[in-house]
Chains A and B, each alone.
Chain A
Amino acid sequence: MDKQAIFTVKNIRKSFKKAEQQELLVLDDVNFELYEGEIVALLGKSGSGKSTLLRIIAGLSEPSSGTVNYRNQAVRGPVQGMAMVFQNFALLPWLTVLENVELGLEALGIPRDERRTRALKAIDIIGLDGFESAFPKELSGGMRQRVGFARALVVNPDVLLMDEPFSALDVLTADNLKSDLLDLWTAKQTGTRGILFVTHNIEEAVLLANRIIVFNSDPGTIRAELTVDLLYPRAEQEPAFRKVVDQIYALITRQMDEHKKLLYKDQLPRITDIGYRLPDADISELSGLLETLDQSEYQGRISLPELAESLHLDVDALFPLTEVLDILGFAYVSYGELILTDTGKQFANADILERKKIFAAHLLRYVPLAKHIRQVLEERRAAGQRASKDRFLNELEDFLSEKEAERVLRTVIDWGRYAELFAYANNTGMLSLENPN
């Protein structure tokens, strides 16, 4: 196999500037290549910068430093030869399927008749026959993404870039589309020489890719690379397939273990600082997860792939939950297993009021931001023990981007309201100690 690189990503760094000197690092020193005849998956949690990387490669976004070379030319804007499939399809709703597929050809200045012939052929290949004159609104999600594929393939791209192309589809539809894509690829029906796609779904990466690049988050860096030699078509039930999946889970959780070792001190659950990026987690989801763990069949211990499968959650939805349980000291992850702690067990068996008490105690102990808010409110006796949400938002923005700060504060407010540590009035944006009557 000749190993000719289609594009080379070199020392890519990307940071978003915030007010005054502050920078939020999203990607740090990313290097890799896409070779001819390869399907590569970029796998990572959401917010790990993998979509940003895809956009930098596509020329849609500019790196802060580093270069992307496509066929020996620096990428400084969208290049001919790369086509993209979008997560939410990005179809123009006012154009018919045919007109949508023609879009890229139109931009190339191809005459109308030739455009039509080529578009019809692409529609035919991708299995959209009979829908030429339909508008995207009339189609189901799966059919819409087929239009997205046809639109990308009709310009005969050298490289196909895909940004979580299946994540907006239901499982069956996604499977169907994936196998059709693989058929096209293995039959070499298109001129496409390489595919790069972004996903947070481990099974999806193993199903499609020759090579998987696992991303760390915060900032996004390449954690590991993994070659998948299984023959197409691959089946999820095969032991060889499961082995690769488990391997990746282990890779990702080992990363979490190491991360934790840095933060754990004296075997106590880690003390995160105020600016820690608390993940989104709903109280009812957390309680549900703890209850599941406490069930007799698991005995307070379950492997993450098994858990993901039984709850029908993918990494993106599961890891925030495990992380929060870990922060609060209710459960922790070790070598691919989620293990319930004693207080976690206590919580799972408590009634509503008792749960609130446990939760409140742990929140104050392990989440400095919650403690901080509570303290500020207590100190403000003169001001009626009230404080504006914006006050805390400003503090958080020293550490986090505006959007993240907003999200983190919203999460903590949710938790604090549940734990009855403080009250919050949405219309005034005021936090207070007293509950409204």
Chain B
Amino acid sequence: MAAPYQLGQVLPLSLDPHNLPKYALFTVLRLFMAMAFALLFTFTIGTFAAKNKRAASIIIPCIDVLQSVPVIGLLSITVVGFIKLFHGSRLGPEAAAIFAVFTAQVWNIVLSFYQSLCSVPLELKEAADMFHLSAWQRFWRVEVPFSVPGLLWNMMLSMSGSWIFLIASESISVNKQTILLPGMGSYLRLAISQSSMTGVLYTIFTLFIVILLYDQLFFRPLLGWSKKFTFEQISQEYVTRSWLAILLQRSSILKYCGNFFEGLGDLFVNFLFLKRAQPLRKAKHMNETTFMILWYVVSAAIIFGSLYLLVQFIARHISLTEIPTVLFLGLITALRVIVVTLICSIIWVPIGVLIGLNRRAAKIVQPVAQFLAAFPTNVLFPIVVILILKFQLNVNIWTTPLMLLGTQWYILFNIIAGASALPEDLKQATANFGVKGWQWWRRLVLPGIFPYWITGTITAVGNCWNTSIIAEVVSWGATTLTATGLGAYIVKQTAIGDFPRVALGMATMSVFVLLMSRLIWRPLYNLAQTRYKLD
């Protein structure tokens, strides 16, 4: 991967199916490398934030914003930076692709870890103090295990969500050039540009296999394993037992390996150099309040300073008259996102509830929905494009389902989880009083699944915004379909390398996402947590 590389150079790629295993391997490697970096980032930055209140007061709001910003649009800017950084090596675009996937994965993982660290029960902390655990031992014996269930669940969600960006980030059009990294994403791009239906089908087939393996060999066993770490008995109905875990538990190989790893883990946790007793309390010396004020002033200065620079950068190149146009494009995309969410809900709420109420059906459908959520839908885009071309459909309307394809599963599997979590006694009570039909939906089911619906919807909406950057411009062979919208605007400006306009588009999208989150989703979420939570 360290071969010399220049922007514009075309890496040899071919549609020969014999290359598929190799390409799939590259793609998966990128995914896992991004995850490794995300974990490293989580363990350092998340821990830092949890241990230092002052740091947290800056880091956490930043992460909160970053997780709602559609990071895929940043790819164009970062790729230039990375190519310069690794001057002339192929590591540049590789790093950019991995970075893009990293930014798609990391934020919710850090937040979950931070929240777990902050909610380690006092008694456990006291026990750790009482038995003189060093900071290192405490981290691996108490803090990390405590956060494992949340951490793993978020890692899995992130990985599922990032497949689509992985595919997109392997082939980037930036500054009138197209960079193609060997992998499934580039294979797909090549197949599209050559109008090769077989190529597209090969991609779909390969990714299906890869994600099936990932789901069965990685996702499910890990989720099953994470149950061991739940502190209280919270039932995770929507996690099914993994056949692999059962198989491993029954075999004696695991026992042998287990002993080996236990020994290794033991050495790691009790690593001698990091064994140090807790420091004794010292008298407080610094004037806390002055320091706090200073800290906030400095951080505010940095944040507003960089915002100012961004505005300057945009304003120097773009006239103010363009801003209303961009805002209008943002509104169109926002409308698309809302319509998609509504359509998803109308379709999947009744179906999800019916499935969720039937324990056997839920058991079968739930893993399938989780699997489908991981499947990168941009692979299916060519098929939709062909249909649009064939039936001469309206591009602005019919590219919208592309956003729906990927995001609907988040709503579906949350609804299933919610419906199966409806308490048996409530169902019996309503049946006993003869509550039926619309009243049954209005009084029991809809309020009962509301918290789950809102959780699913928030994830789905985040995905929708991200997907809009991929889904508003689609092509087949020499034909490119462009819908009106902010996503298409960003893609267009990226391709011609107009960075001020890319920045303007990204900033506008971020503002839209943040406003919608603060004004619609957050209040609804709070309402769900206070009023509709069943426990």
Q: Is the CB of A94 within 8 A of B148?
A: yes
Residue of B nearest to A61 (CB): B126
Q: Is the CB of B131 within 8 A of A137?
A: no
Given A62-B281, A77-B279, A86-B123, answer yes or no on A92-B141 (Cβ-Cβ < 8 Å).
Answer: yes
Chain A residues within 8 Å of chain B by Cβ, number: 33
Distance in angstroms from B391 CB to nearest chain A CB is 50
A112 at the interface (CB under 8 A from B): yes
B531 at the interface (CB under 8 A from A): yes
Enumerate B84-140 residues with CB–CB distance to A below 8 Å.
Answer: 121, 123-124, 126-127, 129-134, 137
Given A93-B231, A94-B148, answer yes or no on A104-B123 (Cβ-Cβ < 8 Å).
Answer: no
Distance in angstroms from A77 CB to nearest chain B CB is 4
Distance in angstroms from A116 CB to nearest chain B CB is 11
Q: Which residues of B contact A90 (CB under 8 A)?
A: 121, 123-124, 126-127
Residue of A nearest to B138 (CB): A107
Q: Mark A83-94, 1 if CB is under 8 A from B, else 0.
A: 110111110111
Enumerate B142-178 residues with CB–CB distance to A below 8 Å.
Answer: 142, 145-146, 148
Q: Which residues of A contact B269 (CB under 8 A)?
A: 106
CA distance A106 to B278 in the complex (A): 14
- 8 Å CB contact of A92 from B129, B145, B279: B145
Q: Which residues of B contact A94 (CB under 8 A)?
A: 145-146, 148, 228-229
Q: Which residues of B contact A106 (CB under 8 A)?
A: 133, 137, 141, 269-270
- 8 Å CB contact of B229 from A62, A84, A93, A103: A93
Residue of A nearest to B142 (CB): A92
- 8 Å CB contact of A103 from B131, B272, B530: B131
Q: Which residues of B contact A93 (CB under 8 A)?
A: 228-231
A288 at the interface (CB under 8 A from B): no
CA distance A59 to B129 in the complex (A): 9
Q: Which residues of A contact B231 (CB under 8 A)?
A: 93
B275 at the interface (CB under 8 A from A): yes
Q: Which residues of B contact A155 (CB under 8 A)?
A: 131
Q: Which residues of B contact A78 (CB under 8 A)?
A: 129-130, 132, 278
Q: Which residues of A contact B266 (CB under 8 A)?
A: 112
Q: Is the CB of B130 within 8 A of A82?
A: yes
B2 at the interface (CB under 8 A from A): no
CA distance A104 to B531 in the complex (A): 43
Q: Which residues of A contact B293 (CB under 8 A)?
A: none
Q: Which of B130, B137, B141, B531 gathers most chain A CB within 10 Å?
A: B130
Q: Which residues of A contact B126 (CB under 8 A)?
A: 55, 58, 60, 84, 86, 90
Q: Is the CB of A92 within 8 A of B124?
A: yes
Distance in angstroms from B28 CB to nearest chain A CB is 29
Q: Which residues of B contact A109 (CB under 8 A)?
A: 270, 272, 275
Enumerate B483-535 residues with CB–CB distance to A below 8 Å.
Answer: 530-531
B252 at the interface (CB under 8 A from A): no
B233 at the interface (CB under 8 A from A): yes
Q: Is the CB of B130 within 8 A of A60?
A: yes
Q: Which residues of A contact B133 (CB under 8 A)?
A: 103, 106-107
A335 at the interface (CB under 8 A from B): no
Residue of A nearest to B130 (CB): A84
Distance in angstroms from A107 CB to nearest chain B CB is 5
Q: Which residues of A contact B228 (CB under 8 A)?
A: 93-94, 135
Q: Mark B248-273, 1 if CB is under 8 A from A, else 0.
A: 00000000000000010010011010
CA distance A107 to B274 in the complex (A): 11
Q: 29 A-B residue contacts at CB 8 Å?
A: A60-B129, A77-B278, A77-B279, A77-B280, A77-B281, A78-B129, A80-B132, A82-B130, A86-B123, A86-B126, A86-B127, A89-B123, A92-B142, A92-B145, A93-B228, A93-B231, A94-B146, A94-B229, A95-B141, A103-B131, A103-B141, A104-B132, A106-B137, A106-B141, A106-B270, A107-B133, A107-B137, A108-B132, A155-B131
Q: Which residues of B contact A (CB under 8 A)?
A: 121, 123-124, 126-127, 129-134, 137, 141-142, 145-146, 148, 228-231, 233, 263, 266, 269-270, 272, 275, 278-281, 530-531
3 residue pairs, one from A and one from B, having the closest CB atoms? A104-B131, A90-B123, A90-B127
Q: A55-B126, A60-B130, A89-B123 are in contact. List 7 more A-B contacts (CB 8 A).
A: A59-B129, A60-B126, A77-B280, A82-B130, A90-B121, A90-B123, A107-B133
